[in-house]
Amino acid sequence: MLKIRQPTTRSPNEAAPRASRRGFLTGAAAAAGAIVIGFRLDLGKARAEGADLAAVKAQPNAFVRIGADDTVTVIVKHLDMGQGNTTGLATILADELDADWSTVRTEFAPADAALYNNLLMGPIQGTGGSTAVANSWMQLRKAGAAAREMLVAAAAFAWKVPVAEITVENGVVRHAGSNRQARFGELAASAASLPVPQEPRLKDPSQWRLIGQRVPRLDSKMKTDGSAVYALDTRRTGQVTAVIARAPRFGATVKGFDDAQARKVAGVIDVVAIPTGVAVIARDTWAAMKGREALKVTWDESAAESRSSDAILAEYRETAKRPGIVASERGDAGAGIKSAAQVLEAEFSFPYLAHAAMEPLNATIERAPDGTYDIYAGLQFQTIEQATAAAILGVTPDKVRLHTQWAGGSFGRRATPSADYIAEAAEILKASGAKAPVHLVWTREDDMTGGYYRPTVYHKIRAGLDAKGAVTGWQHVMVGKSIMIGSPFEAMLVKNGVDGTTVEGASDTAYALPAYRFEVHNAREGVPVLWWRSVGHTHTAHAMEVMIDELAHAAKVDPVAYRLSLLANAPRLSGALKLAAEKANWGNGQDKAGEKGRGLGVAVHESFGSYVAMVADVTAGTGSIKVNRIVAAVDVGIAVNPDIVRSQVEGAVGFALSSVLRNRVTLKDGVVQEKNFDAYEPTRMSEMPVVEVHIVPSQAAPTGIGEPGVPVLAPAISNAVFAATGQRLRALPLDLAGLKGV
Amino acid sequence: MVKLTVNGATHEVEADPDMPLLWVLRDRLDKTGTKYGCGIAQCGACTVHLDGQPARACQTRIGDVGDAQITTIEGVSGRVAEAVQGAWRKLDVVQCGYCQSGQIMSAIGLLSGNPKPTDADIDGAMDGNICRCGTYQRIRAAIHEAARSLA
């Protein structure tokens, strides 16, 4: 029998008493007699729009806790989804503190935007835009330095010696003159009672012992013995597991469902409707999945997106023929092209991409006996997640505690402006009467077909060259769905119809193009889109860097030299480019580009304040390519942990390669076709090129490296394929089926 | 009732023999070091050892395990395991780390039968283990490093 059902409105029962196994503050006892310190600063004042900078003041208890057992616990306000920021952030604080690295631990911060907001994001706690180290740099240095000064002051008082005569090294405070010393743990309690210095003296870079060194990752052991607890490993006492039957087409809603068979499946406990579908609640994941298979749902598809991705892209091509919103303009590009000796025209298309993090989306939510709530997940947008769950549950945000867990990747997917999967977990808890903690699991198929993709995008470029090969004009039209329009960030991040996260990397190109016009069309469609590791740069860098390469070849100028000639006013970009070219033996006759079917390609791009150049060495044959080697040069300012910087660039290559070679999410009549790793196959071991990463020495403040390795890979490879074969493969993924070997 | 021996301990599990070993380990026995990635033996995140041989737990029915000794990342031990885990830590292979239990179980399987694998051997043994963070270069280096330390 088919029945219409609304989410249940039973009064919530008291949940089972909370297990203390992973209670966030079980370390509270250890914190007794400990020093707690930290404060918020005005870093990023110019960029942190909306931050209430006047309210910034010293905030003890925010970033470091020193236990009587000498343990130094650094509080990490960001999600670590693999980018290694827990180690990097702890390094910054520990260095200024002069801590013994072997005693350093980390703990993820609770939700508290007042203490833990991202200083580059405004008044929001969240992780993204490769900002973790960049926004925390001075905040954590000052926190570490202030803690150190308090420990020194405590020792000076106890020993009745001048502060200036005290030294600190490796977690030990010493006074050489009186031959006295004490460990941090011995001083922590007395130091905690001292006033917090507001402007502690920071180290000179020559005094750094950890920053700039290869400090071992703090998470290596726990991630190699099975003990690291990811969100999907959350096990609350009495928890039930839920999976959701979602509509096959985006925008469809539940018309009705028949759960008679589902309820007969062993282990199924309940079936409830929520706004995004019908949730099957069971004693374990397997039973929930079996129950969902037996569930019959009918969908109202009257408002659903039912087009195919090919049709959407074809519409974009038509849209690009019409004038768009001018996102940036200098000079008269049309006149420049009209006066050109030769005009090149190229189009670039990009598919929807799934993030496909190894740990599928999931969240666990529990109601405490006092009517407050706890959420355990790979939380990436804490302020929004907390507020969203609170609104659903009918409480104020402070009644929802967040417990950020290790995340098995994200690549942007866990930070949604709608807090989508957190909202689902809250809805299920509410609809099920909050009888038991709910562990919501997205299966791989749910994760792959659930939307929030990197948008499909179309770029069309016309560029003119004069007789000497100099650019006379560049007209650029882009069509794609804005990530921000329609989100809570629209007012903040969309200016005059231009979404900066969509056009970044092209509308603000650093190339000295004398006449440049960039127009954008914001497509309207029903497919939910989201940032995907490096956001707009995933497509803008490819379009720009392939086109520049085409111009270089048309001008008969070496592609590195041609770029450098246009980057005279961009020293950090040209610095990275020169270093990569040098290390790759570019143009010096020692590379292997002379081999038949083999070629080198180059690309350089700035994203999130970091500058990355790559040279790809590719062997191209009929219908396939092999990427042999990638030589990368990166300028991230001060490399807090050079080994992690290198690992992020190596990983960016492995991550992005499959999107160059094959990955695409396609819709047929609105239904996503790729449901698992067989149809959407990430890079595998045998495909991984050798990656060499060189770091440009710098004294500039550190910027991020989680994302900036991604944008340059595709154009470097595409340009190498051209060098090897003379064929331009512009679309991503590369049209390898059309490639002819030489 | 199905009897399973996991990391040397015997468990009696009240479950359908069709239930995949993966979900029994994770949801019934709290052995969460073994990960769910795809459920269709495409990614290797769920790799465990059955009598010392790597197997995908997501495609292993508990009814088919029989008397086989099941070893998970939490229980793996011995000279090869120590060499592999040590090399992983020495080279800081991990990023998000979610796939690494499976990678390590596959690598131990490889080195147990082939103490000096070539790059081609590594490709063959490890191609079934996906790392979305792209740590393959370090995985390869760590396997060579472990082989050296075992030599």
Residue-range domain boundaries for chain B: 2-71, 79-150
Q: Which of B96, B123, B139 sits opposite A358 (nearest CB)?
A: B96
Q: What is the pLDDT of residue A55?
A: 31
Instruction: Pick from B133, B135, B144 the residue to mutate for testing the A interface (most A CBs within 10 Å).
Output: B133
Cβ within 8 Å of B, A 642-661: 643-644, 647-648, 650-655, 657
d(CA A146, CA A143): 5
Tell which residue, A375, A265, A408, has the closest CA to residue B32: A408
Closest alpha carbon within chain B to A677: B42
H/E/C letters for each residue in chain B? CEEEEECCEEEEECCCCCCEHHHHHHHHCCCCCCCCCCCCCCCCCCEEEECCEEEEHHHCEHHHCCCCEEECCCCCCCHHHHHHHHHHHHCCCCCCCCCHHHHHHHHHHHHHHCCCCCHHHHHHHHCCCCCCCCCHHHHHHHHHHHHHHHC
**Nearest 5 degrees, angle CA A218-CA A141-CA A649?**
50
CB-CB under 8 Å, A408 with B35: yes
Tell which residue, A715, A489, A480, A477, has the closest CA to residue A603: A715
CB-CB under 8 Å, B92 with A220: yes
Q: Which of A219, A233, A407 sits opposite B94 (nearest CB)?
A: A219
List C-alpha distances in Å: A442 to A353, A526, B58.
Answer: 18, 21, 16
CB-CB under 8 Å, A654 with B133: yes
Cβ within 8 Å of B, A 375-414: 406-409, 411
Range B2-71: architecture per CATH: Roll (3.10)
Identify any residues that bridge with A400 across adjacent strands, giving them in sequence order: A373
The whole-angstrom distance between A706's CA and the closest CA on chain B is 10
First and final CA of chain B: distance in angstroms? 44
The whole-angstrom distance between B33's CA and the closest CA on chain A is 4
Radius of gyration, alpha carbons of chain A: 27
d(CA B9, CA A62): 43
Q: What is the pLDDT of residue A45?
A: 32
CB-CB under 8 Å, B42 with A677: yes
Contacts of A690 in chain B (CB under 8 A): 137
CB-CB under 8 Å, A647 with B39: no
Tell which residue, A93, A88, A97, A70, has the closest CA to residue A169: A97
B3 touches chain A (CB under 8 A): no
Total Cβ atoms within 10 A of residue A210: 21
First and final CA of chain A: distance in angstroms? 64
Contacts of B34 in chain A (CB under 8 A): 226
Place of tokens 């246009």: A566
Range A231-302+361-441: architecture per CATH: 2-Layer Sandwich (3.30)
d(CA A316, CA A306): 16
CB-CB under 8 Å, A266 with B16: yes
Q: Which CATH homologous superfamily contains domain B79-150?
A: [2Fe-2S]-binding domain (1.10.150.120)
Q: Which residues of chain A have pLDDT under 70?
A: 1-61
Contacts of A645 in chain B (CB under 8 A): none
Q: A28-207, what's its fold? A: Aldehyde Oxidoreductase; domain 4 (3.30.365)
Supply the angle between the helices A642-661 and B136-150 in degrees, to the nearest 10.
120
Contacts of A691 in chain B (CB under 8 A): 137
Closest alpha carbon within chain A to B72: A226
For chain A, give the number of residues: 742
Please state the separation of Cα A554 from the chain's center in Å.
37
CB-CB under 8 Å, B137 with A407: no
Closest alpha carbon within chain A to B135: A651
A294 touches chain B (CB under 8 A): no
Please state the separation of Cα A648 from the chain's center in Å.
12
For A723, the token pair is 């060098």
Instruction: Pick from A223, A269, A283, A413 the residue to mutate for testing the B interface (most B CBs within 10 Å).
Output: A223
Q: Which of B19, B37, B74 sits opposite A358 (nearest CB)?
A: B37
Half-sphere exposure of A425 (CA within 13 A, CB side): 35
Closest alpha carbon within chain B to A240: B27
Q: Which of A82, A443, A690 sits opposite B97 (nearest CB)?
A: A82
Please state the separation of Cα A430 from the chain's center in Å.
30
Closest alpha carbon within chain A to B129: A684
**Contact status, residue B130 vs residue A663, Cβ threshold 8 Å:** no
Q: Which of A222, A409, A681 sits opposite B96 (nearest CB)?
A: A409
Place of tokens 């993204």: A128
3-state secondary structure of A57: coil
Identify any residues that bridge with A347 across adjacent strands, giving them in sequence order: A460
Question: What is the CATH code for A320-351+453-738?
Answer: 3.30.365.10
d(CA A609, CA A712): 14
Instruction: Pick from A81, A685, A687 the residue to mutate for testing the B interface (most B CBs within 10 Å).
Output: A685
Q: Which of B31, B38, B132 sits opposite A655 (nearest CB)?
A: B132
For A343, the token pair is 């005009």
A216 touches chain B (CB under 8 A): yes
d(CA A665, CA A426): 29
CB-CB under 8 Å, B27 with A650: no
CATH 3.30.365.10 domain extents, chain A: 28-207, 231-302+361-441, 320-351+453-738
Q: Which of B34, B132, B140 sits opposite A357 (nearest CB)?
A: B132
Q: What is the pLDDT of residue A61?
A: 64
A357 touches chain B (CB under 8 A): yes
Cβ within 8 Å of A, B 111-150: 122-123, 126-127, 129-140
B35 touches chain A (CB under 8 A): yes
Judging by DSSP bridges, how do beta strands A624-635 and A690-695 pair with one another? Answer: parallel
CB-CB under 8 Å, A220 with B95: no
CB-CB under 8 Å, B134 with A654: yes
* pLDDT per position as a tens digit, A105-156: 999 999 999 899 998 887 889 999 999 999 999 999 999 999 999 999 999 9
A682 touches chain B (CB under 8 A): yes
H/E/C letters for each residue in A564-618? HHHCCCCHHHHHHHHHHHHHCCCCCCCCCCCCCCEEEEEEEEEECCEEEEEEEEE
Contacts of B130 in chain A (CB under 8 A): 358, 677, 682-684
Q: What is the pLDDT of residue A593?
A: 73
d(CA A154, CA A163): 9
Q: What is the pLDDT of residue A595?
A: 86
CB-CB under 8 Å, B30 with A235: yes
Cβ within 8 Å of A, B 68-97: 72-74, 85, 88-89, 92-97
CB-CB under 8 Å, A653 with B134: yes
Contacts of A294 in chain B (CB under 8 A): none
> Is the alpha carbon torsion for A190, A192, A193, A196 positive or negative?
positive
B56 touches chain A (CB under 8 A): no
Return per-residue pLDDT of chain B as tens, 151 residues. Answer: 999 999 999 999 999 999 999 999 999 999 999 999 999 999 999 999 999 999 999 999 999 999 999 999 999 999 999 999 999 999 999 999 999 999 999 999 999 999 999 999 999 999 999 999 999 999 999 999 999 999 9
CB-CB under 8 Å, B45 with A686: no
Judging by DSSP bridges, how do beta strands A438-441 and A240-246 pair with one another? Answer: parallel
The whole-angstrom distance between A654's CA and the closest CA on chain B is 4
Instruction: Pick from A240, A286, A442, A644 the residue to mutate for testing the B interface (most B CBs within 10 Å).
Output: A286
Half-sphere exposure of A486 (CA within 13 A, CB side): 14
CB-CB under 8 Å, B99 with A220: no
